């Protein structure tokens, strides 16, 4: 995570924050490795930050992210919160330890369907049959699935597609059958994880 954070920090400060006055405030918590925090102002003359940027929030560090949103690290209520390279799973089901029911409930409330919007996505994906592709999105455009070499658009969606939807589109585009292990057909596979590997 320390290596990943160093690369992300350099990219953010060189490119993403270009044109804004940014201030790096440090890591969110000593136990939240890779979770860096910045404030953004419109320009150097602005007194008030309009956005808070946080990196690498995961299921393990989500507790600290919730504390940030609650104002434990300073006021965020009137600001845009940008999560860069966040990799929490689902809607909070995997956050924290199995016995941390309160934390999971708070995560579910935070991660409601309309609470966060993915404004930039570039993610490689691979079906169980070995067909590769790239899912991309640049706000406000659609989610676009490209073939392995990027030469053709396989399919577009307004909302982010599920792993199964991407697998079916990639396999159909490549003209291959779903690979389903010991199952006789894809309908017998019960989990999306059986279909696509990230």
Q: Write down the pLDDT at residue 171.
A: 92
List pLDDT tens digits, range 176-193: 876 554 444 555 554 444
- Give the residue among 139, 142, 149 at the shortest CA–CA distance from 170: 149
H-state helical runs in 111-184: 163-174
pLDDT given for residue 193 in this prediction:
45
Give residue 194's pLDDT. Answer: 46
| Whole-number pLDDT of residue 88 | 82
* Backbone φ and ψ of 25, nearest 5°: -100, -5
Structural contact between residues 69 and 57, judged by C-beta atoms closer than 8 angstroms = no
Distance CA 95, CA 48 (A): 32
The alpha carbon of 137 is separated from its chain's Cα centroid by a whole number of angstroms, namely: 12
Domain ranges of the chain: 2-110, 120-197
Closest CA to 87 of 53, 56, 124: 56
Give the pLDDT band of residue 91 (cuts 50, 70, 90): confident
**pTM score, two decimals?**
0.72
Integer angstrom CA distances of residue 10 from 26, 49, 50, 58: 14, 21, 21, 20
Q: Are 17 and 33 in contact (CB under 8 A)?
A: no
**Residue 183: its pLDDT value, please?**
45
Cα separation of 186 and 198, whole Å? 19
At residue 63, the 3 state secondary structure works out as: helix
- Mean pLDDT over the full length of the chain: 84
Q: Is 73 helix (H, G, I), strand (E, B) or coil?
A: coil
174 Cβ partners below 8 Å, 6+ apart? 129, 131, 147
């Amino acid at each position: 995570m320390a290596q990943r954070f160093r690369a992300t920090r350099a990219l953010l400060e060189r490119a993403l924050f270009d044109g804004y006055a940014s201030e790096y405030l440090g890591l969110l918590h000593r136990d939240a490795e890779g979770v860096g925090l910045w404030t953004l102002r419109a320009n150097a003359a602005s007194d008030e930050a309009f956005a808070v940027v946080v990196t690498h929030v995961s299921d393990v560090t989500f507790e600290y992210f919730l504390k940030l949103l609650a104002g434990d690290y300073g006021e965020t209520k009137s600001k845009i919160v940008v999560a860069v390279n966040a990799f929490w799973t689902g809607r909070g089901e995997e956050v924290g330890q199995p016995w941390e029911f309160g934390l999971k409930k708070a995560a579910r409330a935070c991660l409601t369907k309309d609470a966060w919007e993915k404004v930039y996505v570039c993610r490689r994906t691979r079906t169980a049959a070995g067909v590769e592709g790239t899912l991309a999105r640049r706000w406000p455009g659609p989610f676009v699935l490209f073939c392995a070499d990027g030469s053709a658009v396989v399919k577009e969606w307004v909302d982010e597609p599920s792993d199964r939807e991407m697998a079916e589109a990639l396999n159909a585009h490549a003209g291959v059958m779903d690979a389903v292990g010991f199952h006789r057909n894809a309908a017998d596979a019960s989990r999306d994880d059986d279909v696509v590997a990230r």
